[in-house]
Amino acid sequence: MNAFRSRSNRSGGGYFIEFLIIIAGIMVSFLLNEWREDRSLEEKKITLLKEIQTDLKKDSAVLTYSMGFYKKMLQSHDSLLLNRNKKFNEDSLDIYLDYVCSYYPFQPAEKTYLKIHNNNNLVIEKEDSLFEDFLNLHNFLYANYKEWSFIEKNFVLNKMLPYLDENASFHYPPPENKLFDGEVFYELKDQSTFMNYIKSGRLYKFAMIGISEACMAQLNQLNQEISTHLREIENQE
């Protein structure tokens, strides 16, 4: 009888140990799986940050060209406004007149933005401020840029171009980067409508340069912060 009880107690203890081993195995498996998921998520975020940098590089190139182009257009407006009673070089005047009816649309790279924005499984934590900054760049600064660009485009297409189409002479066939015969400026400069259009155009060009510089500053800062973050991750591995 005592021997039976001893074997029974040892069997009960064995079952308990086996139970603990099973629980421990489940917990280890759970923790390992959780670690793998966290690691996979971190790797995905690192990949996304690198893709963001690729998009920022593309946007930087477009904005750099845009700012240069708008500065040339702004200088053309200023030349016509500040020197309206002076004689211009014929080629320069052709370019000036073409610039007052020009604009440059900016289309940012949106591949990574849409990937993050449409990914319901990607949870952006408090420490993921770089992703928040990237989304804010698109949702606010880029959106503001597009709004100003839309206003300027409407002004050029609905005000300046129809006016020049009606009152200015065309080059035919047009040389490269030349559409209107700039000599007509000497006839139009005394018309208040034309000069007011140039003043309005200057305002839009100046605004576009300002918003472009703001976008570029935010873009460069974000790109630098991402580079720093990625270097820190590499040093930890």
For 5-38, write each residue's pLDDT tens digit: 545 555 556 666 666 666 666 665 555 555 555 5
For residue 182, give the DSSP letter. Answer: G
- Global pTM? 0.78
Asked if the model's pLDDT at residue 4 lies above 50, the reply is no
For residue 2, give the DSSP letter. Answer: H
Question: Is 164 part of any domain?
Answer: yes
Confidence at residue 17, expressed as pLDDT on a 0 to 100 scale = 67
**Mean of pLDDT over the chain:** 85
Q: Which two tokens stand for residue 98?
A: 């073409």
Question: Is 62 part of any domain?
Answer: yes
Question: Is 50 part of any domain?
Answer: yes
3-class SS of residue 104: coil
Give the count of domains, the chain: 1
Question: Is 16 part of any domain?
Answer: no
Task: Provide the domain limits for residue 220.
Answer: 46-236
Question: Is 64 part of any domain?
Answer: yes
Question: Is 13 part of any domain?
Answer: no
Question: Is 25 part of any domain?
Answer: no
Question: Is 166 part of any domain?
Answer: yes
